[in-house]
Amino acid sequence: MRLDRFLTDRVPDLSRSAIQRLIEEGQVRLNGELAKASHRVRLADVVVLDVPPVVPADLVPEAIRLQIIYEDDALLVVDKPAGMVVHPAPGHRSGTLVNALLAYCPQLAAEAGDRPGIVHRLDRDTSGLIMVAKSDPVRRALQRQFQEHRVRKAYLALLDGHLQPGWGRVCAPLDRDPLHRQRIAVQAGGRGATTEYHVSEYFSHQGGPAAGDYTLVRAEPETGRTHQIRVHFASIGHPVAGDAIYGRRRTPLPLERQFLHAWRLGFEHPVTGRSVEFEAPLPQDLAAVLEILRRPV
């Protein structure tokens, strides 16, 4: 396997282009030596990736279009597209949601740190709803709701195989995978995690470009662990379709990412005290997959 592909598979928070930049910048060593992205990794090779820290001073406003679902003087609810990183990370110093927010809400620049306004996060390749606080007191109030499990979240996920029964809960503790530290795994002694699911639709295709069995579910995580939904469903033998990290490396479906969308978000407004709830429709790439699966075989 190529060196850049090898690292991309093991460091899911970094894109392949970001890995390639780090290799070009000399941040990767293979058996103690600098190497090219195209170098083939072999059994027993030692690969060391040095990820430089993000410097908050690098944050600059960028005029990136935002899909705003709701806005008032206290907060925003944004429909984040797949492929956008929420906050700066190694290999992603620009083009993030934070960069876009700094241009849209210049007052966020007064907040300290490299995540101004960010209350929670979504994986780079997970689309959907994310809340943004316009002030630090509002951010702390919203984060407290997350800590007390008062935020209502629902995701739409397409899973490999037919998941039975039609309703259930996956309760499994999660922690870093001891063999692949950038991955999460079910680990005894890890942090407790629970995901409730409801089956929405089953699909069966015996041939063609979508061959296989699939299940569309509404997943409601009661906790917010890293990669929780993806790892939980993979642990019961039904990984999220298109998830090359925790599922099949290749899927017959026309997917460039995992089929996972943060569809619904509900919480108590930190200023008015009202219970509010928002929804974001499936983006076109995921909706197109369902159209294919719903066609008569």
pLDDT tens figures, 171-202:
999 998 888 877 899 999 899 999 999 999 99
β-strand partners of 47: 30
Model confidence at 13, in pLDDT bands (50, 70, 90)? low
Q: What is the DSSP string of 218-279?
A: EEEESS--TTHHHHHHHHTT-PBTT-TTTS-SS-SSS-SS--EEEEEEEEE-TTT--EEEEE
> Which tokens in the block code for residue 105?
């809400």
Query: Whole-model pTM?
Result: 0.79
- Better pLDDT: 76 or 250: 76
% of the chain at pLDDT higher than 70: 94
Model confidence at 160, in pLDDT bands (50, 70, 90)? very high
Q: Average pLDDT of the chain?
A: 90
What SS3 class is residue 109? helix
What SS3 class is residue 76? strand
For domain 151-297, give the fold.
Pseudouridine synthase (3.30.2350)
Question: How do the domains of the chain map onto residue ranges?
Answer: 3-49, 53-148, 151-297
| Distance (Å, whole) CA 198 – CA 217 | 6
Model confidence at 209, in pLDDT bands (50, 70, 90)? low
pLDDT tens figures, 230-257:
999 999 999 999 999 999 888 889 999 9
Query: Looking at 79, 114, 123, 160, which residue is catalytic?
Result: 123
Q: Is the pLDDT of residue 22 over 50?
A: yes
Q: Match 């991309």 to its residue by tokens.
A: 8
Q: Is-same-fold flag (53-148; 151-297)?
A: yes
CATH architecture of 53-148: 2-Layer Sandwich (3.30)
Average pLDDT over residues 273-289: 97
User: Active-site residue 123, yes or no?
Assistant: yes
φ and ψ at residue 295, rounded to 5 degrees: -70, 145
Those residues with Cβ within 8 angstroms of residue 40's Cβ, 6 or more apart along the chain or in another chain: 1, 2, 3
pLDDT tens figures, 98-151:
999 999 998 887 776 678 899 999 999 999 999 999 998 999 899 999 989 999
CATH number of 3-49: 3.10.290.10
Q: Match 């780079």 to its residue by tokens.
A: 124
